[in-house]
Amino acid sequence: MNSSDLEYFLKNNIPMAKHMGISILSCDENSLVSSAPLEYNKNDKGTGFAGSIFSICAMSGWSYIRFLTLNEGVNSDIMMHASEIVYHKPVLDDFNAEAKLNKPGDLKKFIEELKVKGKSRIEVKVSVSSLNDLKAEFTGSFVAVLK
């Protein structure tokens, strides 16, 4: 699985991703970087709509966990269990979201628990930036259940 496969999956299975103009720029075992144009994700003030910023964070975290599990040969259903977001500054231009594991060392335990127990949970942090300036930070807990 690569970034193009993830983007194709998102746009064909989660209609909102297509409407938001989300692109997956890169994805590897260390992080996933997505982007979205301000034009499709602005509010009445012309700045980034908080709901869109949250949504790109949730989709980026979900996509990153999907990438990691499939690359480990594990087919699972993934869902967000809990989340929190802090908005630091208004988004004034197109923006990126970078998803990383909160604790990179947790991946091995997460995958082992998923294989043995059929269910596991892991935390992802997503940083939203625009014009190289941090705009928001998201933390999400994702659960995977074996199919």
pLDDT per residue of the chain (147 residues) written in tens, 0 to 9 = 899 999 999 999 999 999 999 999 999 999 999 999 999 999 999 999 999 999 999 999 999 999 999 999 999 999 999 999 999 999 999 999 999 999 989 999 999 999 999 999 999 999 999 999 999 999 999 999 999
Which residues, listed in sequence order, are joined to residue 85 by a DSSP beta bridge? 138
The four Cα atoms 2, 95, 80, 19 give a dihedral, to 10 degrees, of -80
Contact 129, 78 (CB under 8 A): no
- Distance between terminal CA atoms of the chain? 18
**pLDDT (0 to 100) of residue 125:** 98
* In CATH, 3-146 is 3.10.129.10: yes
Rounded to whole angstroms, the Cα distance separating 86 from 80 reads 17
Cα torsion 59, 119, 81, 128: sign: negative
Say which residues have a Cβ less than 8 Å from residue 104's Cβ, sequence separation at least 6: 30
**pLDDT (0 to 100) of residue 1:** 83
Look up the pTM and report it. 0.96
**pLDDT (0 to 100) of residue 10:** 94
